């Protein structure tokens, strides 16, 4: 399976009220967050060609069963660990705890199905400190076809899958988190702080959550209601210094 963050070709009309993420490009935002937070350790789940990994100047662990790296992903990084495994196998191996004392900034952009992202979030929060930040990609799918669980390449060039369900899940099950959906194009970015590595609410409810949300679609939920629940914020207002930086191509 191949996934892409390329700009989608819109082949089908979107229902009225379908929310869109049209803000500053997510790679610019990632670069800015690396510079603003200066994390000791960055964890990336899903690296693909390495475009997001290249925006990290510090120590990094990148996990992907199918790296297709091109370009200088090492850059000036003092340390880079490339783990050619699924995130589940990486977590089961216990390697993260041996490589880094804690993860300060994480970007979850692996398999675009909500149960995988839920598992990635649960595992990543356990590796974090209370002051760490987790970023979730693909929360704002650009079309109904791109939000489906199967990627139909005849209908959409880009695929966000049903990662959008994470907003419903985290808002309901983890109101203790500070959870903000930002508007970077093409498909939004979740910014999560107030983490609690010892919290077991999600892991205990995991199977129930997966069963409850498996068959839900945005059309059933209601695109406008989904937009209101997300309450998407303009990333350049949340991070005003981003306005002074150069835009990605």
Sites of contact with ligand SAM (CB under 6 A) = 3, 5, 45-49, 51-52, 63-66, 86-87, 109-111, 116
Output 74 or 229, the one with its CB closest to ligand SAM.
74
Looking at the Cβ atoms of 28 and 104, the one nearer to ligand SAM is 28
Query: Judged by CB, which is closer to ligand SAM: 171, or 203?
Result: 203
Angstrom distance (rounded) from CA 61 to CA 41: 8
Smallest separation, CB 63 to ligand SAM (Å): 5
Name which of 45 and 169 has its Cβ closer to ligand SAM: 45
Nearest distance from C-beta of residue 67 to ligand SAM, angstroms: 7
Cα 156 to the center of its chain, rounded Å: 20
Total residue count of the chain as it appears in this document? 249
Six token digits for residue 147: 């939000």
Give the whole-angstrom CA distance, residue 65 versus residue 68: 10
SS (H, E, C) 144-179: CHHHCCCCCCCCECCCCCCCCHHHHHHHHHCCCCEE
Residue 180, SS3?
A: strand
Q: How far is the CB of 54 from ligand SAM (least distance, A)?
A: 8
| Contact (Cβ atoms closer than 8 angstroms) between residue 104 and residue 132 | yes
Please state the closest distance from residue 139 (CB atom) to ligand SAM, in A.
13
**Neighbour order of strands in the sheet with 41-45:** 80-83, 59-63, 41-45, 103-108, 128-137, 189-193, 178-182
Q: Nearer Cβ to ligand SAM, position 5 or 183?
A: 5
The distance of closest approach from Cβ of residue 138 to ligand SAM in the complex, given in angstroms and rounded to an integer, is 8
Q: How far is the CB of 224 from ligand SAM (least distance, A)?
A: 28
The span from the first CA to the last CA of the chain, in angstroms, equals: 26
- Nearer residue to ligand SAM within complex by CB, 72 or 176: 72
Q: Smallest distance, Å, CB 176 to ligand SAM? A: 27
Q: Which residue's structure tokens are 């203790």?
A: 176
| DSSP 8-state symbol, 54 | G
**CA 194/CA 157 separation, integer angstroms:** 35
Query: Which lies closer to ligand SAM via its Cβ, residue 82 or residue 229?
Result: 82
């Amino acid at each position: 399976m191949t996934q892409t963050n390329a700009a989608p070709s819109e082949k089908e009309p979107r229902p009225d009220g379908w929310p869109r993420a049209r803000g500053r490009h997510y790679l610019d935002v990632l670069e800015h967050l690396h510079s603003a937070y200066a994390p000791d350790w960055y964890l990336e789940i899903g690296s693909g060609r390495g475009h997001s990994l290249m925006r990290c100047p510090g120590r990094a662990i990148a996990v992907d069963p199918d790296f297709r790296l091109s370009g200088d992903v090492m850059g000036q990084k003092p340390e880079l660990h490339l783990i050619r495994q699924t995130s589940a196998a990486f977590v089961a191996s216990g390697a993260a705890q041996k490589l880094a004392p804690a993860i300060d900034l994480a970007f979850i952009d692996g398999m675009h199905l909500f149960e995988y992202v839920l598992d990635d979030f649960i595992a990543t929060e356990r590796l974090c400190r209370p002051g760490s930040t987790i970023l979730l990609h693909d929360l704002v799918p650009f079309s109904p076809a791109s939000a489906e669980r199967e990627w139909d390449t005849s209908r959409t060039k880009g695929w966000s899958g049903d990662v959008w369900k994470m907003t419903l899940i985290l808002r309901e099950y983890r109101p203790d988190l500070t959870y903000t959906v930002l508007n970077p194009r093409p498909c939004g970015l979740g910014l999560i702080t107030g983490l609690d590595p010892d919290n077991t609410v999600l892991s205990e409810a995991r199977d129930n959550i997966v069963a409850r949300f498996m068959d839900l679609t945005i059309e059933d939920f209601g695109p406008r209601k989904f937009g209101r629940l997300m309450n998407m914020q303009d990333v350049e207002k949340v991070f005003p210094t981003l306005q002074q930086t150069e835009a990605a191509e």
